[in-house]
Amino acid sequence: MQVKLSDMKLGETGTIRSVKTENLHDMRILEMGFVQGEKITVTGFAPLGDPMEVRILDYSVSLRKSDSENILIQTGQQA
């Protein structure tokens, strides 16, 4: 199943399908390891549900919903 990273639940794991690459900030997200095929796990949500914290490539990073909406994740079987 393919979902937006922003729609994933706490503790869920998946594989990155695609990332938006429209501006410099998008490029930075990409360069920090959000590339196709990497495994990603949702590890937390801030009090108001945004930003969220994820674990990728063995480190933790937080990002806003406006960014996580643009990241598509493959969940389900493989996870």
Partner 1 sequence: MNITVALTGNPNAGKTSLFNMLSGSRERVANYPGITVEKKIGHAQWNDNSLSFYDLPGTYSLSAVSAEEMVTSDFLTGRTGVSADVILFVTDSLALSRNLYLLTQVAESGKAVIAVLTKTREARANGKQIDLQKLSGLSGISFIDSAGRPPKVREQIFTAIVNAAKQEKKQSSAPDFYGKEDAAAIAKAQDTLQATGTTMHPAEIFMLLSGEPQTKKEILELWHNHAGLLYPEKGEEVLSALEKIAAQKASQNGYAESVRRRYAWIDSIVEQSVTLDKPNKKTLTSKMDKILMSRILGPVIFFGVFTVLFEAIYTWSTPLMGIIESGIALLQQGASALLSRLPMFHDLVVDGIIGGAGSVLVFLPQIIILFAFIAVLEESGYLSRASYLTDKFVSWSGLSGKSFVPMLSGFACSIPGIMAARTIPNRTARIATILTVPLVSCASRLPVYMLFISAFIQPVYGNAAAALTFLLMNSLGALLTLPVAWIIGKKFLQPSPTPFLLEMPEYRIPTLSSVYDRMAEAGWDFLKRAGTIIFIFSIIIWALSYFPRAQNATAAYQLEQSYLGQAGKFVQPLFSPMNFDWKTTIGIVAAFPARELLVSTLGILYESEATADEFSSLSGKLAAEKSHSPASAMALIVFFALSAQCMATLVTVRQETGSLRYAFALFFYMTALAWLLSWLTYVTLSSAGLG
The nearer residue to partner 1, 2 or 36, going by C-beta atoms, is 36
Residue 72 CB, nearest approach to partner 1 (Å): 14
The nearer residue to partner 1, 3 or 45, going by C-beta atoms, is 45
The nearer residue to partner 1, 3 or 61, going by C-beta atoms, is 61
Phi, psi of 16 (to 5 degrees): -70, 130
Residue 75 CB, nearest approach to partner 1 (Å): 17
Residues that bind partner 1 (CB under 8 A): 19, 21-33, 35-38, 43-51, 53, 57-64, 66-67
Identity of the amino acid at 18:
S
Residue 33 CB, nearest approach to partner 1 (Å): 5
Identity of the amino acid at 55:
R
Query: Nearest-CA neighbor of 29 among 59, 68, 72, 77?
Result: 68
Identity of the amino acid at 68:
S
Asked if 46 contacts 78 with a C-beta cutoff of 8 angstroms, the reply is no
